C-alpha cells in the first residue's frame, strides 16, 4: 500500500493524471516485492544473531569450564581429562575439540575476566532463562565429573548463577538434579533408576502430588527441548547434551509414573 501511495504522489507531480496511473502501477509492483525483501532481511538478521549467540555460548562454555577447573589454584590432569570427556559427550569434531581446549586454556589464565565473559553471554542471549540454565548445568556436570565439587568450585558456580539471574535455591535444585544423574550412571549400579534420584531429576519431593509430577515433567521437558534451545542459540555441538537431558527427564518421569500408577 505504501508503494502505491508514494508512486501515485510522485507520478502525479511528474506527469499529471497519466503519471499518477503509472506511479500507482509501479508502486503496486514495489508493494509485492517489499514483503519478500523485508522478510529476507529479517531472516538474515535473525540467522546472524543466532550465529553470534552460538559463538559466544561456545566460547563461554569452555573458558568458564577452564576457570572453574582452576578455582582451587591448580588444574590437575584429572580435570583436563574431565574436560575432554565433556567434549567427547558433545561429539565435537577434531577442529572443534582443539578450539575448545584452547578456550579451556584461556579460562585458566590468571587474567581471565569471568565477569566480563558472563556479561557478554547475558547480553547476547538477552538472559534467556532456559539457555542460561543449560549453561549452568553443563558447568555443574563438569564440576562434578570427578565425583565431588570443591568449595572453591561451588563459590564460582554460585557467582555464575548470580550473574545470570539464578537464585541459590535454583542452583541447589540444579545441583541435586546433576548429582542424581551422576549417581544413576555410576559403574556397577542397576540400570533401574532409583526412585529418590527420579524425584531429584524432576526437582520434586516424594510428597509431590500426581498433578505436580505431571507439571514438573512438562515444564522440564519444555525447558530442555533441543529444538527450542537450538532456536534460542544453543550451539549445534551441544544438542547431544540437550537430548541426553530430555532422556533423563523422561526416564525419571516414567519411573515415578510406574511406581504411582499414574495414567
**What is the full per-residue pLDDT of the chain (263 aa) written as tens digits?**
654 555 544 444 444 555 545 555 555 655 565 555 544 544 566 678 788 989 999 999 999 999 998 887 777 777 788 788 888 888 888 899 999 999 999 999 999 999 999 999 999 887 789 999 999 999 998 888 777 888 999 999 999 999 999 999 999 999 999 999 888 877 777 778 899 999 999 999 999 999 999 999 999 999 999 888 988 889 888 898 899 999 999 999 999 999 988 87
Residue 13 pLDDT: 43
CB atoms closer than 10 angstroms to residue 243: 13
Q: Is 238 helix (H, G, I), strand (E, B) or coil?
A: helix
Cα distances (angstroms) measured from residue 5 to each of 19, 27, 35, 152, 249:
13, 7, 16, 66, 56
Compute, in degrees rounded to 10, the torsion defined by CA atoms 139, 143, 147, 148: -130
How far is it, in rounded angstroms, from Cα 162 to Cα 173? 15
How far is it, in rounded angstroms, from Cα 31 to Cα 261? 59
How far is it, in rounded angstroms, from Cα 56 to Cα 178? 24
Alpha carbon 212 to chain centroid distance? 25
For residue 109, give the C-alpha cell.
589464565
Residue spans per domain, the chain? 2-260
Question: What 3 state SS string does 122-186 have?
Answer: HHHHCCCHHHHHHHHHHHHHHHHCCCCCCHHHHHHHHHHHHHCCCCHHHHHHHHHHHHHHHHHCC
Tell whether pTM > 0.75. Answer: yes
Q: How far apart are the first and last CA of the chain?
A: 55
Return the closest-CA partner of residue 118 out of 157, 163, 156, 154: 163
Phi-psi region of 16 (alpha: psi -120 to 50; beta: other; left: phi over 0): left
Cα distances (angstroms) measured from residue 241 to each of 9, 92, 97, 142:
58, 12, 16, 12
Residue 30 pLDDT: 56
One DSSP character per residue, 185-241 reads: TSTT--SSPPHHHHHHHTT--TT--HHHHHHHHHHHHHHH-HHHHHHHT--GGGHHH
Phi-psi region of 259 (alpha: psi -120 to 50; beta: other; left: phi over 0): alpha
Amino acid at each position: 500500500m505504501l508503494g502505491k501511495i508514494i508512486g501515485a504522489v510522485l507520478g502525479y507531480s511528474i506527469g499529471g493524471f497519466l503519471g499518477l496511473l503509472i506511479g500507482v502501477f509501479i508502486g503496486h509492483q514495489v508493494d509485492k516485492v517489499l514483503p519478500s525483501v523485508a522478510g529476507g532481511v529479517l531472516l538474515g538478521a535473525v540467522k546472524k544473531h543466532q550465529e553470534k549467540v552460538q559463538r559466544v555460548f561456545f566460547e563461554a562454555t569452555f573458558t568458564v569450564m577452564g576457570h572453574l577447573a582452576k578455582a582451587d589454584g591448580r588444574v590437575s590432569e584429572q580435570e583436563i581429562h574431565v574436560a575432554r570427556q565433556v567434549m567427547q559427550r558433545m561429539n565435537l569434531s577434531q577442529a572443534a575439540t582443539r578450539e575448545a581446549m584452547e578456550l579451556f586454556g584461556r579460562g585458566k589464565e590468571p587474567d581471565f575476566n569471568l565477569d566480563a565473559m558472563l556479561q557478554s553471554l547475558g547480553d547476547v542471549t538477552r538472559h534467556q532463562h532456559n539457555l542460561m540454565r543449560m549453561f549452568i548445568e553443563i558447568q555443574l556436570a563438569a564440576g562434578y565429573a570427578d565425583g565431588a565439587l570443591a568449595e572453591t568450585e561451588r563459590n564460582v558456580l554460585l557467582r555464575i548463577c548470580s550473574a545470570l539471574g539464578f537464585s541459590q535455591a535454583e542452583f541447589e535444585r540444579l545441583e541435586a538434579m546433576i548429582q542424581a544423574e551422576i549417581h544413576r550412571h555410576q559403574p556397577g549400579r542397576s540400570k533401574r533408576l532409583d526412585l529418590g534420584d527420579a524425584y531429584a531429576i524432576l526437582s520434586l519431593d516424594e510428597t509431590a502430588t500426581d498433578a505436580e509430577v505431571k507439571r514438573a515433567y512438562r515444564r522440564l521437558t519444555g525447558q530442555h527441548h533441543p529444538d527450542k534451545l537450538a532456536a534460542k542459540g544453543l550451539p549445534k555441538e551441544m544438542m547431544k547434551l540437550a537430548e541426553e537431558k530430555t532422556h533423563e527427564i523422561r526416564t525419571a518421569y516414567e519411573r515415578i509414573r510406574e511406581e504411582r500408577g499414574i495414567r
